[in-house]
Amino acid sequence: MIPALLLPAALAALLAVAVPLAIHIARRTETRTIDFAALRWLNPNPKPVQRLQLDERLLLGVRIALIVAIAVALARPVLRPSGDSGPVVAIAPGIDAAQVADNGQRRVWLAPDFPGADRAAPPATADLASLIRQLDAELPAGTPLTLVVPPAFDADGGRLVLSRKVTWKVAPAAATPSAKPERTPPPLAVRYAAERAEAVQYFRASAGAYAAPDQAPAFDAAPVDQPLPAQAKTLIWLSGAPLSDTALSWIERGGVVLLAHDAPSPVEGTKSVVWRDAAAEPLAVEGRYGQGRVLQLTRPLAPKSLPALVEPDFPDRLWALLDPSAAPARVAAQDYAPALGEVGPALAFNPHPLDLRPWLAVLIAVLFAGERWLATRRKRPVMA
């Protein structure tokens, strides 16, 4: 085990040791004068002897130890394991460990806590890239690392950059991942002003395009003064009037609304463009309101101003606008081999250090109790 301090700058608190030293130097133990007859022949004002004297040294030592313990605790002391620098083979769950050659290396699963590969395979995880980074951070710098991964897995960002050069092996997975469920089209609720009832047809047609041939469209259209359906998730607001308080509360709880171009928007912050035409001109912008999303068209709902209304792909564009799908994250392992590079300080070698602060807390409590007992006991030493 190697002792270390995670916050060594906190040792500056050791300067507080000067406080009890100054108190004990400046303060003299209480003296008691005893008169007796022979004293009347002595000089009443003798020249004092100047010398440094520390009284109650045990109490002083306990106070200094208390301050030192507090300063060390603030510096976050830990004990780091020295680490095993032997080669490590990390196998992704879903790969048969028997097909990976065992040459005496330490074999672990790429799973939380990195259990040994001699145990039963843990369930597959979507955090494979994150676990690879964690394993790289927890191994000593000179440890050879071999990663055995399936042909494809979910990535969480850019290419892996590790602190060491690894052996990257792609092995067939024992089981194929289950297919992801199909996305369900959003049900459309439309609230419109009387003068804009004609624009409802475009959204009714989109809802019909979403529905299967033997299903009724998930569509609800009504004037603006009608309440929303209980299960509404998306709202089309075809009016130049402000949203009702009920609708605003619904958006704050996570609802999604598409406003007409002239409707007052509750969004006060910045808005981003989420839909552009072929000439890169903005057609819709988005902002956040509470936990919900507020979308707003930039043009009137008429084919002359917004030709996309009558284009065949308008239902798909509307669906992507109201319920955007997550960006694809699955990558081919052959193209995701880690690169060698500098890692940040947060990814430095850190093999689960043992925090010593709980033990220091006990020591501080004991020292504080001892200091209080020494400072308040009835039989403190008194100089005669």
pLDDT in tens, 149-197: 888 877 765 667 888 888 999 888 765 444 455 668 888 999 999 999 9
Please, are residues 110 and 93 in contact by the beta-carbon 8 Å criterion? Answer: yes
Give the full edge-to-edge strand order of the sheet including 354-355. Answer: 2-5, 77-80, 354-355
Please, are residues 140 and 349 in contact by the beta-carbon 8 Å criterion? Answer: yes
Q: Is 323 helix (H, G, I), strand (E, B) or coil?
A: coil
Please, are residues 67 and 20 in contact by the beta-carbon 8 Å criterion? Answer: yes
Work out the average pLDDT over 70-90: 81
Res. 32: pLDDT tops 70 = no
Please, are residues 366 and 50 in contact by the beta-carbon 8 Å criterion? Answer: no
273: pLDDT confidence band, cut at 50, 70 and 90?
very high
The whole-number pLDDT of residue 236 equals 95
Lowest mean pLDDT among 39-43, 219-223, 257-261, 267-271: 39-43
Res. 344: pLDDT tops 50 = no
Rounded Cα gap, residues 229 and 284, in angstroms: 25
Rounded Cα gap, residues 155 and 162, in angstroms: 15
Average pLDDT, the chain: 82
Rounded Cα gap, residues 127 and 141, in angstroms: 23
Residues 6+ apart with CB under 8 A from 290: 251, 252, 253, 254
Please, are residues 244 and 215 in contact by the beta-carbon 8 Å criterion? Answer: no
Locate all alpha helices (DSSP H) within 27-103, ordered by sequence. Answer: 57-74
Work out the average pLDDT over 271-281: 88
Instruction: Sort residue 46 into left (φ over 0), alpha (ψ -120 to 50) or beta.
Output: beta
The one-letter code for the residue type at 355 is D
Res. 38: pLDDT tops 80 = no
Rounded Cα gap, residues 170 and 268, in angstroms: 50
The whole-number pLDDT of residue 345 equals 42
Lowest mean pLDDT among 12-26, 78-92, 220-234, 244-258: 78-92
Q: What is the pTM of this model?
A: 0.44
Rounded Cα gap, residues 124 and 149, in angstroms: 11
For the chain, the structural domain boundaries read 2-32+53-80+354-376, 88-177+331-347, 188-311
71: pLDDT confidence band, cut at 50, 70 and 90?
very high
Res. 51: pLDDT tops 70 = no
Please, are residues 57 and 382 in contact by the beta-carbon 8 Å criterion? Answer: no
Work out the average pLDDT over 337-357: 62
214: pLDDT confidence band, cut at 50, 70 and 90?
confident
